[in-house]
C-alpha cells in the first residue's frame, strides 16, 4: 500500500472497546488454566462478547462523582464441571479486577459492577460430555485427539510490514499511556484514541486524551496542559517517528465551555459502551486501506477457535514471508467448520499485490503452522496488558 494515502486508527488501552478486549482475553486465559487444573484438558468455550456498559457520572473541573456504577458483562460459552458453572463468576470478577485496577489504578474496580450471562452451549453435534465434564469420569475422547478441528467457517487476513501511519498510531498511543508521560501529566487518563491520515505525504494526527476531572481544577489549567502536550507530541513525532510534515489536533470536541473530563480516565465511567471485537483489528490497528474481517480475536480459545488461530497465522506468515522475500506481503486464510486446525483449507499469498506461488514458501508456511500448534497447546499465563501494547508481540 502506498504511503501517499493512509487512514489508520488505534484505540488506546483505556478505551471501552480495548478494555472489553483485554478483559475477554484475560478471562479466557484464566478459564483455560482453571479447567486444565481440574480436568487436564484444553477446554471448549469462548468469551468474545464482553460488554462494558457505561455508568453515569457528574464531572466538572475539580470534581468527579459516580452516580451509577458502570457494569461489565460476560456473554459467551463455558463448560460445566460436574453440572456446575458457578466458578465462572469468580474467574470473571477476578479478571475484571485485575484489568481495571492495572490500567486505571488500584481501587477503581470498587466502582464497577460485574455480571455473568454465559451458557454451556449444549448442541446436537457433540455428546453431553463435551459441555458438562465430570471430574471423576473418563475424559471425552474429543479432547484427547492430537489434531483438533476448526469450530467455525471463517476468512481472515494478515499483512506485513506495517506502514508509517500504522506504526505511528501504535507508538504515539503507547507513549501517551506510558509511565513517563503519566508522570509528566498525571491528570491525563488512558482512554486515548489516535487517528492518523496521510494524503500526499502530509500527515495529520487527531488525538483524544481524557483528563481526570478531580485533579484538573480549572478550564485555564486544562487548556494550558493541552498546549504543553501538543508541543511535547510535536517534538516526539519529529524526533522519534522522523515525520516532518504533520499537524496535530487534540480533543477536537472541546469548546469554550466543555472539555474531555472523566472520573477515572475512561469515557465508560460516564456512559460510553465498549464491546469485544469493536476495537483494534489484529494485530493492533484499524487500518482502512487494508483487508479486514469482523472476527474478534480476544476471548476466543486457542484450542479450536479458527477465528483466533488464523488471525495469528495470517499475520505470522505474512511477517515471515516479508522478512524472507523483502516484499510487501498479504496473506488470506479461509477454512470450513470441522477441518483440522493445522490444515487450513486455503492459504493465499500476495506479494506486492501479485498472487504468489505457495510452493515457493513451503518452509515458511510449515514453520508458521508449527507456531500455530504451539500457541494452541500452551497454557502459560500471558500478560494481556503487555500483549495489547506490543500488538500480540508483533510490534516491539
Mean pLDDT value of segment 324-343: 95
Domains and CATH numbers, the chain: 5-13+165-271 (3.30.300.340), 16-133 (3.30.300.10), 154-161+284-389 (3.30.300.280)
User: CB 166: neighbour CB atoms within 10 A?
Assistant: 26
State the pLDDT at residue 1. 44
- pLDDT bin (cut points 50, 70, 90) of residue 232 is very high
pLDDT in tens, 8-37: 999 999 999 999 999 999 999 999 999 888
pLDDT of residue 146 exceeding 60, the answer is no
- Taking the alpha carbons of 103, 108, 109, 111 in that order, is the dihedral positive or negative? negative
206-210, 233-237, 379-383: range with lowest mean pLDDT: 379-383
Highest-confidence range of 1-10, 108-117, 127-136, 146-155, by mean pLDDT?
A: 108-117
pLDDT of residue 144 exceeding 70, the answer is no
92-106, 211-225, 253-267, 291-305: range with lowest mean pLDDT: 291-305
Residue with the larger pLDDT of the pair 208 and 131: 208
Mean per-residue pLDDT over the chain, rounded = 92
Mean pLDDT value of segment 334-351: 95
Residue with the larger pLDDT of the pair 128 and 327: 327
pLDDT of residue 3 exceeding 60, the answer is no
Q: Yes or no: say if 375 and 312 are a contact pair by the CB < 8 Å rule.
A: yes
- pLDDT bin (cut points 50, 70, 90) of residue 124 is low
State the pLDDT at residue 303. 83
pLDDT in tens, 244-271: 999 999 999 999 888 999 999 999 999 9
Task: State CA 356 to chain mean position distance.
Answer: 30
DSSP state, 138? Answer: P
- Here the cell at position 367 is 514453520
State the pLDDT at residue 258. 87
Residues whose CB is less than 8 angstroms from the CB of residue 189 and which lie 6 or more positions away in sequence, other chains included: 14, 104, 209, 210, 211, 212, 262, 264, 265, 266
Helix (H) or strand (E) holding 180: helix 179-184
pLDDT of residue 123 exceeding 70, the answer is no
- pLDDT bin (cut points 50, 70, 90) of residue 48 is very high
pLDDT in tens, 279-332: 999 999 999 999 888 889 999 998 889 999 999 999 999 999 999 999 999 999
State the pLDDT at residue 292. 84
pLDDT of residue 38 exceeding 90, the answer is no
Helices in 40-105 by DSSP H: which ranges?
87-104
User: CB 380: neighbour CB atoms within 10 A?
Assistant: 7
Amino acid at each position: 500500500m502506498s504511503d501517499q494515502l493512509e487512514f489508520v486508527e488505534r484505540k488506546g488501552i483505556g478505551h471501552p472497546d480495548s478494555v472489553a478486549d483485554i478483559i475477554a482475553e484475560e478471562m479466557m486465559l484464566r478459564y483455560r488454566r482453571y479447567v486444565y487444573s481440574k480436568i487436564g484438558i484444553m477446554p471448549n468455550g469462548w468469551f468474545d462478547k464482553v460488554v462494558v456498559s457505561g455508568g453515569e457520572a457528574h464531572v466538572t473541573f475539580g470534581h468527579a462523582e459516580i452516580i451509577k456504577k458502570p457494569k461489565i458483562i460476560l456473554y459467551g460459552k463455558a463448560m460445566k464441571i460436574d453440572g456446575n458453572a458457578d466458578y465462572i463468576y469468580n474467574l470473571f470478577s477476578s479478571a475484571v479486577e485485575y484489568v481495571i485496577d492495572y490500567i486505571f489504578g488500584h481501587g477503581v474496580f470498587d466502582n464497577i459492577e460485574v455480571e455473568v450471562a454465559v451458557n454451556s452451549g449444549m448442541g446436537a453435534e457433540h455428546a453431553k460430555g463435551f459441555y458438562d465434564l465430570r471430574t471423576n469420569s473418563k475424559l471425552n475422547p474429543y479432547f484427547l485427539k492430537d489434531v483438533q478441528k476448526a469450530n467455525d467457517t471463517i476468512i481472515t487476513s494478515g499483512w506485513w510490514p506495517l506502514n508509517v501511519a500504522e506504526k505511528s498510531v501504535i507508538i504515539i498511543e503507547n507513549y501517551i499511556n506510558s509511565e513517563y508521560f503519566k508522570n509528566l501529566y498525571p491528570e491525563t487518563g488512558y482512554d486515548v484514541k489516535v487517528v492518523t491520515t496521510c494524503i500526499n505525504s502530509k500527515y495529520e494526527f487527531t488525538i483524544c486524551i481524557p483528563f481526570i476531572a478531580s485533579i484538573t481544577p480549572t478550564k485555564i489549567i486544562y487548556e494550558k496542559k493541552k498546549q504543553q502536550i501538543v508541543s511535547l507530541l510535536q517534538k516526539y513525532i519529529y524526533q522519534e517517528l522522523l515525520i516532518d510534515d504533520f499537524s496535530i489536533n487534540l480533543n477536537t470536541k472541546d469548546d469554550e465551555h466543555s472539555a474531555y473530563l472523566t472520573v477515572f480516565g475512561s469515557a465508560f465511567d460516564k456512559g460510553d459502551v465498549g464491546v469485544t471485537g469493536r476495537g483494534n483489528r489484529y494485530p493492533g490497528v484499524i487500518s482502512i486501506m487494508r483487508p479486514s474481517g469482523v472476527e474478534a480475536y480476544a476471548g476466543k480459545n486457542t484450542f479450536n477457535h479458527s477465528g483466533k488461530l488464523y488471525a495469528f497465522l495470517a499475520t505470522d506468515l505474512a511477517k515471515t514471508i516479508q522478512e524472507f522475500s523483502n516484499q510487501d506481503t498479504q496473506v488470506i486464510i479461509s477454512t470450513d467448520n470441522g477441518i483440522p486446525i493445522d490444515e487450513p483449507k486455503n492459504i493465499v499469498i500476495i506479494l506486492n499485490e501479485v498472487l504468489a506461488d505457495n510452493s515457493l514458501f513451503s518452509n515458511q508456511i510449515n514453520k508458521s503452522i508449527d507456531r500455530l500448534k504451539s500457541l494452541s497447546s500452551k497454557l502459560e499465563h500471558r500478560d494481556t496488558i503487555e500483549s495489547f501494547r506490543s500488538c500480540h508481540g508483533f510490534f516491539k
